[in-house]
Amino acid sequence: MKLADNLARPDVTGTPSEVRAWLFLAAGILPTAREVDELGDKIPDIDGLPHPASIMDFGWYLWRANEWMVKGVGLPERHIGRHYVEMYFEEGGSIRAHLGGLWPELAPVLVAQFRDETVRRTEQRWFRKIHAHLCTLPDFERMWSTATESPSGAYGWSRTPVEGGIIGAVRAPLTADPRLIVGQIVPEDSDGREQMLRFGAILD
């Protein structure tokens, strides 16, 4: 924190809080609920979007989700601050129940992306803790050990085929705190749109 205060030049590097966030990201220090709340209006308003959108940190803990994300994925009532992959794999969880037959298609893609994004963080304390817990959940360890390369990079656009349609996702780090990632899910074709309508993920 002292290093950030000494290095910060608002017109060149950004504010001390922005420099601190970049240093925390490099060190693998996840944001706290208090830090997320303090960002206030620096976090974009995702509630008005007509498709699923969320804000997670680089460890995949969920901090914001709009109505379409909650409905489309089937997020549990208590989801803020929870790990997204944990909710996806928990036995008897609302996501498994909501997605039904689509869940086995989407889960390996999710695991592959999570693995790719955390490949350089496997020695960090937060990762060891959540990975050990995830491996106790049904199907996760098997999918983790057989995961192939993710169809996308750490940030940017990805495409997921689902029952004949295609659903795209775009992810980008938040400028005010790059530890937070803004994600949006959109249909790429008419079949993908029909699938999202089916799960209540977009406006009809």
pLDDT per residue as tens digits for the range 64-117: 999 999 999 999 999 999 999 999 999 999 999 999 999 999 999 999 999 999
How far apart are the C-alpha atoms of 116 and 144, rounded to whole Å? 11
What is the widest separation between alpha-carbon atoms in the chain? Answer: 54
Q: Which two tokens stand for residue 180?
A: 């937070």
Q: Which two tokens stand for residue 104?
A: 């086995």
pLDDT of amino acid 53: 97
Contact by Cβ (8 Å): 191, 163: yes
Q: Which two tokens stand for residue 138?
A: 């049904």
Q: Which residues of the chain have pLDDT under 70?
A: 1, 3-6, 8-14, 150-155
Contact by Cβ (8 Å): 198, 74: no
Contact by Cβ (8 Å): 167, 201: no
How far apart are the C-alpha atoms of 104 and 204, rounded to whole Å? 26
pLDDT of amino acid 4: 62
Q: Which domains does the chain have, with CATH numbers?
A: 31-198 (3.30.450.180)
pLDDT of amino acid 149: 74
pLDDT of amino acid 70: 97
The torsion defined by the Cα of 74, 80, 83 and 84, in degrees rounded to 10, comes to: 30
How far apart are the C-alpha atoms of 153 and 163, rounded to whole Å? 23
pLDDT of amino acid 165: 86
**Residues shown for the chain:** 204
Hey, is 130 helix, strand or coil?
helix
